[in-house]
Structure 1
């Protein structure tokens, strides 16, 4: 065994020795590198090392610029998306709109804006209809919605919602009012003695519209009003399907502001207009003004109904026939108010009245009487077209707080003189509020039934006359306070006619609202002019609005992001 092992070791060593000898021989016979070859090798080595170093520097620089470009691109895109998101949220909360219509049909008046901004209680407006159905019904509906949005934009306390009657009958049942399609409810909720009290005001489609004078006159002559005819037709929408062509202008702003005043006024004022004695005027626009200024207006037939207990102001609009004794008692009891006074009466006389001895006796208790004839002016600078269409020369400062000018011009036609019987007597005092010039006179007139021409007779009384006067009955309380009930007598229904109240060059509407505001202690009123919607207006459809919204909120940021990625990729590959 030992011999075999030694043999194996010897063979391996011999082989190894042979390999070493072979390597030495090869080394001796191989050609040696020349000096030139050594230099070339050194140059290649140095060039390779330099190229490696330059490559490292270039890669570091490229990486630095690429990183910065990527960071800037990401920051820019992020900022752009953020701006779009924030802008969209702001536009949803505070929509920015531009009214490009000629008469600003989508804008609110300055007076309305001032009032809306002062509202400090939550008001919810519910429109009982599907939004698209409502806005597409007519241009007046669309204008109403845009106005309502402006109200909400002016004050975050005001919100609105659309409720489909068919889909949400449970919401309709929450209200005591009879709700019809397209009706609106203005609502506030307050807590009194721990109980939640809801105050509401319902507006129908007809409340948002004004009809032509000719149409209303024809209805009146036929013994109808728009409300009664609408009831017979089956509702506002049915009425409009027949008589929509007679719509003249939008009454939406008046209606909205009125409803807002009604539900937010802590002390609402109720006005009752008495009918039943062949009244010579309907006071249509005057009622509109009262309603627009937050008064709750209703009518009562004095011959068969009592004056509601919550009435603050009663209006007697030029009855052609005299009141009976029982009618007078209702009015007298209203003013006495159980001895507490605090009530107001507006009595309107007319040249077309018959003799009214009962009414005349009642007025005398307040120191007032309505004279014969009509007031005329001899000075051409004091009348308009005719001597019996005159402008008041003297306006008392009493209760002119809501009139926009220091010297209001009050126009009247065929006005009977309102005389004061005394200055003060038995706790009753009188004061003339509107007077003519000293060159005035009273005269009987004859009006042609065919041509309407007015023929003025001889002068009855010459000198200054009163167009309007106030008789006040006072009572002192135990705590040294004074209570008043007032009777305001106006000599002509012309001063409160629809036409005169709408004249912009005269202040009839402002003046009478101001007087009633002052007597009732109500806040400043608002006089709003109806808006006619005619012609084409600048607008876009809901689909176009949606396209624009997504274009600026999503499309633009995505495009910018793609462009940024392309630029980044191109720079990276350079």
Structure 2
């Protein structure tokens, strides 16, 4: 082979090698493009799949537990343990129909805040707590056997939704009401009611939210298959049995805030004129009578509790703190082995602001049952001493609440003369008479409360500070056999936090849910594209 041929061969081989290398480089670049391109689409597919799976999981979890996290210092948007346990234990379905738009609650709060600001007052009225809590009721109820369905309706556009509740409700149903129903039982929380759920504390210029107890009680009441029917004695022959100037407020609190609010069906009666029918009533209440009862009235009370020998009835008697000459009533109480002494209990060491507002201890836990917070004080203002009378009968007398060991009695006449030594004295007593029939024992009970001011508005509503409401309701529930009532502690709302309007909350939601994920996705795509083109 000539040098020329050899040179041409080398050139040909060099060209072939160059073409082969170029082809190999092209294949390598194409492989890399295919590799990075495939990875790009695989990653996109994985991201989409993860987002879909997370959304499905979030949807499932939202039905089982609340997805919103309450980070407020007072836990205003979260239900208390008492309410959570109550709705989880539901056996029935409950409908809650709100006759307004959901955002009306926030709007009305904003309106009054602006009015207050114009007058130079900076206050916060977070009525939006109410729809937020209604959501929580619905979510927690899903964990039990029952359900709570919340709906917001326009009465003008859909009146038929509201009309069906009027069949079982004697009052008026108006705009901005909250209707709570189960079966044929209906309760209505009016606009005035829920606006009063925010109670001002003038000393601290803050608010307490008392609405949760109202809503929880309404739910418990409409699901109670066997409510206790109460004959509340207000008059005798048309005249009030008590001094209205002294007791009208506390009687109203006892009847409405303690009994009616917690599922007791109360009916005011005239004890001399109306029937006290055991078939119609389960319990009778006599509150602070300032006049003695006639013999026929005493016989009526006796017959009610005996129930034709079948027993099974209850009575609550609360004496006036200053009335002593009531011989017929005293004789009736003596038949139940109870005496109301003519003295008041004083305690300078264990009291609330006044030596006459004595603190009590639980002497018979079984008669009360379990309390949510046993550390809260029990206050009994102007309490008369109760003593058990030893008689030849089978009465079972329980001394439920007693004063502290440092307490002592003073005479009612001058409120100063000491009539006994220091020592614990009974303030709440229960006497029971039982009847056995076919291996079944049926009991009638008489509860006597020595302090007529123990269930006043202050001590009942401030249930986060005092145990009066819990103790009285639990004792009455235990005595009557009623189940389902619960005292929900109020929430003291703190003012040092950031609030948002609906528009601000919506903007934050858009940023968090859409804008931030979109920016992250864009950055990710740019990075992937740059890697793919390398």
1:182 aligns with 2:149: no
Q: CA deviation at 1:163?
A: 1.2
Corresponding residue SS for 1:174: helix
**Which aligned pairs between 1:426-437 and structure 2 lie closer than 5 A?**
427-436=394-403
| Alignment-derived partner of residue 231 in structure 1 | none
| Alignment-derived partner of residue 409 in structure 2 | 442
Corresponding residue SS for 2:257: helix
For residues 408 and 88 of structure 1, the distance between their equivalents in structure 2, rounded to whole angstroms, comes to 40
| Alignment-derived partner of residue 199 in structure 1 | 185
**Which aligned pairs between 1:514-553 and structure 2 lie closer than 5 A?**
514-523=474-483, 525-533=485-493, 535=495, 537-553=497-513
Q: Higher mean Cα deviation, 169-178 or 130-139?
A: 130-139
Q: 1:538 to 1:464 in 2, by over 3 A?
A: closer
Corresponding residue SS for 1:372: strand
Larger Rg: 1
Deviations 1:244-294 (A, max 9, x none): xx9964321111111121123333233443223135432454442445544
User: What's the Cα RMSD here?
Assistant: 3.8
| Alignment-derived partner of residue 65 in structure 1 | 35
Q: Higher mean Cα deviation, 400-409 or 349-358?
A: 400-409
In the alignment, which of 165, 171, 176 is matched to residue 155 of structure 2? 165
Conserved? CA contact 2:198–2:211, under 8 Å: no
In the alignment, which of 253, 257, 267 is matched to residue 288 of structure 1? 257
For residues 533 and 352 of structure 2, the distance between their equivalents in structure 1, rounded to whole angstroms, comes to 88
Q: CA deviation at 1:401?
A: 1.7
Conserved? CA contact 1:443–1:461, under 8 Å: no
| Alignment-derived partner of residue 400 in structure 1 | 368
| Alignment-derived partner of residue 103 in structure 2 | 132
Q: CA deviation at 1:181?
A: 1.4
Deviations 1:338-361 (A, max 9, x none): 432211111011223363333223
Corresponding residue SS for 2:232: strand
Q: 1:534 to 1:328 in 2, by over 3 A?
A: farther
| Alignment-derived partner of residue 411 in structure 1 | 379
User: What residue ranges of structure 2 are gaps of 5+ in the alignment?
Assistant: 110-124, 236-240
For residues 488 and 506 of structure 1, the distance between their equivalents in structure 2, rounded to whole angstroms, comes to 21
Q: Higher mean Cα deviation, 275-284 or 432-441?
A: 432-441
Q: Higher mean Cα deviation, 142-151 or 203-212?
A: 203-212
Conserved? CA contact 1:251–1:530, under 8 Å: yes
Deviations 1:361-417 (A, max 9, x none): 33233222322122345xx54556665443446712441322357798643233222
Corresponding residue SS for 2:342: coil
Q: 1:205 to 1:363 in 2, by over 3 A?
A: farther
Q: CA deviation at 1:465?
A: 4.2
In the alignment, which of 108, 119, 128 is matched to residue 79 of structure 2? 108
Q: Return the TM-score normalized by structure 1.
A: 0.74
For residues 181 and 99 of structure 1, the distance between their equivalents in structure 2, rounded to whole angstroms, comes to 29
| Alignment-derived partner of residue 242 in structure 2 | 278
Q: 1:429 to 1:563 in 2, by over 3 A?
A: closer
For residues 541 and 169 of structure 1, the distance between their equivalents in structure 2, rounded to whole angstroms, comes to 30
**Which aligned pairs between 1:92-103 and structure 2 lie closer than 5 A?**
93=63, 94-103=65-74
Conserved? CA contact 1:207–1:251, under 8 Å: no
In the alignment, which of 110, 121, 141 is matched to residue 155 of structure 1? 141
Corresponding residue SS for 2:136: helix
For residues 135 and 98 of structure 1, the distance between their equivalents in structure 2, rounded to whole angstroms, comes to 19
Conserved? CA contact 1:210–1:248, under 8 Å: no
| Alignment-derived partner of residue 266 in structure 1 | 225
Q: 1:397 to 1:130 in 2, by over 3 A?
A: closer
Corresponding residue SS for 2:409: strand
Q: Return the TM-score normalized by structure 2.
A: 0.79
For residues 263 and 193 of structure 2, the distance between their equivalents in structure 1, rounded to whole angstroms, comes to 14
Conserved? CA contact 1:369–1:421, under 8 Å: yes
For residues 193 and 300 of structure 2, the distance between their equivalents in structure 1, rounded to whole angstroms, comes to 31
**Which aligned pairs between 1:385-396 and structure 2 lie closer than 5 A?**
388-392=356-360, 395-396=363-364
| Alignment-derived partner of residue 469 in structure 2 | 509
1:471 aligns with 2:399: no
User: What residue ranges of structure 1 are gaps of 5+ in the alignment?
Assistant: 1-31, 190-197, 216-245, 448-454
| Alignment-derived partner of residue 319 in structure 2 | 349
Q: Higher mean Cα deviation, 83-92 or 518-527?
A: 83-92
Corresponding residue SS for 2:100: coil
Q: CA deviation at 1:493?
A: 0.9
Corresponding residue SS for 2:384: coil
Corresponding residue SS for 2:453: helix
Q: Higher mean Cα deviation, 272-281 or 257-266?
A: 272-281
| Alignment-derived partner of residue 24 in structure 1 | none
